[in-house]
Amino acid sequence: MAKITFKGNPINTSGDLPAVGSNAPDFVLTTDSLEDVGLARYKGKKKILNIVPSLDTGVCAARARRVDKDVASHDDVVCLTVSDDLPFASSRFCKAEGVSNVITLSELRDREFGSAYGVRIVDGPLAGLLSRAVVVLDENNTVVYTEQVPEIAQEPDYDAALKAVS
């Protein structure tokens, strides 16, 4: 269980991020076209799992725009932004913000992702949502980098995540 904070107040997650060197847990998440996908959809690509409570926050929005620009020049990398947002809301956000290189995925139908990746917030005002974290996978779905931000309003180290896929 990770101990993080929300506006300085302690909250906890359901577990810990997958260990570097381990095989990433597969998942079933829903795209903005309401299709359920798992890791096999992105076979052969390096993956940045950009995990957020909601795109409807300033930190998440800034993060999505930054990652969108950073991955645009990497043909072998896919950025998957995972949240509990409805696919319709994520799609509207991306269109409004000009985000086109990020794939938004939702726990709409299957909520196992948060538990499998240890990022479900279990207490406090955001209980039930996902914490802010990054998990980077190589083309074989081996975990090569993780970061659980200690304060939910804090942005992760984008440069370290991008370095992990280089």
d(CA 81, CA 102): 7
Task: Quote the distance between the C-alpha of residue 85 and its chain's center.
Answer: 12
d(CA 52, CA 33): 20
d(CA 90, CA 92): 5
Catalytic residue among 24, 39, 60, 133: 60
Is 60 considered catalytic here?
yes
Identify how many contiguous H helices and E strands the chain contains and give both numbers.
4, 9
d(CA 23, CA 30): 21
Residue positions annotated with a catalytic role: 60
